[in-house]
């Protein structure tokens, strides 16, 4: 796939993988810890840990020689997944809490509740569907370039219509 979102979903889109990464961010690292936390079948956990390791999000490190025992640590690539997880948690709290919020993000030092948003690193400006467009990258295929052009045309047309209607 030429789409980075599709490639990312291929790496971590399976929900058990995302939950394993969630637990890894909270300090879990051993097979039995993941299994107890998630209540996941051992064969599924084995496959998901192998997948995450092969795809560079976790690294398998031996912590005991006899018998051989391993733990799974987040790699830099795995740590870079945290904003995605924080965004999923915020979205879930905003839209999927019929009985109320059960888990929130808070500042470790002050305990102040945090509300994640996606912002541009250079300007600090929030990134929303209203202020972004698809920009083809240097290796974009003709199909991606055509899709980006269609999206820009729609945005231009919508902007023109908004100006015409006074909104």
Q: Output the CA–CA distances (angstroms, integers) from residue 158 to 145, 162, 165, in the order listed.
A: 20, 6, 11
pLDDT at residue 152 greater than cutoff 90: no
Question: For residue 64, what is the enclosing H or E element?
Answer: strand 58-64
- Please report where in the chains the tokens 């976790």 appear, as a residue: 58
167 band by pLDDT with thresholds 50, 70 and 90: low
pLDDT tens profile 21-55: 999 999 999 999 999 999 999 999 999 999 999 99
Q: 1 pLDDT exceeds 80?
A: no
Q: Is residue 161 predicted with pLDDT exceeding 80?
A: no
What pLDDT shows up at residue 166? 66
Residue 160 has pLDDT above 90, yes or no: no
Residue from 64, 49, 41 nearest 12 by CA: 49
pLDDT digits (tens, 9 = 90+) for 105-144: 999 999 999 999 999 999 999 999 888 888 899 999 899 8
**Interval 6-28 mean pLDDT:** 92
What angle (nearest 5°) sits at the alpha carbon of residue 158, between those of residues 152 and 163?
Answer: 125
Give 57-115 pLDDT, tens digit per residue: 999 999 999 999 999 999 999 999 999 999 999 999 999 999 999 999 999 999 999 99
CA distances from 107 to 97, 111, 113, 162 (A): 22, 5, 6, 40
């Amino acid at each position: 796939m030429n789409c980075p979102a599709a490639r990312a979903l291929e790496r971590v889109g399976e929900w058990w993988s995302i939950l394993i990464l969630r637990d890894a961010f909270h300090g879990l690292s051993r097979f039995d810890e993941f299994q107890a936390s998630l209540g996941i079948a051992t064969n599924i956990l084995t496959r998901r840990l192998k997948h995450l390791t092969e795809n560079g999000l976790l690294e398998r490190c031996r912590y005991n020689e006899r018998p051989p025992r391993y733990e799974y640590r987040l790699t830099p690539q795995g740590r870079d997944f945290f904003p995605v997880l924080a965004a999923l948690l915020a979205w879930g709290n905003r839209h999927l809490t019929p009985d109320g919020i059960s888990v929130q993000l808070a500042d470790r030092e002050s305990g102040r509740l945090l509300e994640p948003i996606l912002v541009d690193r250079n300007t600090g400006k929030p990134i929303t569907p209203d202020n972004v467009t698809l920009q083809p990258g240097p290796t974009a295929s003709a199909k991606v370039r055509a899709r980006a052009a269609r999206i820009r045309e729609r945005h231009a047309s919508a902007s023109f219509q908004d100006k015409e209607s006074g909104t």
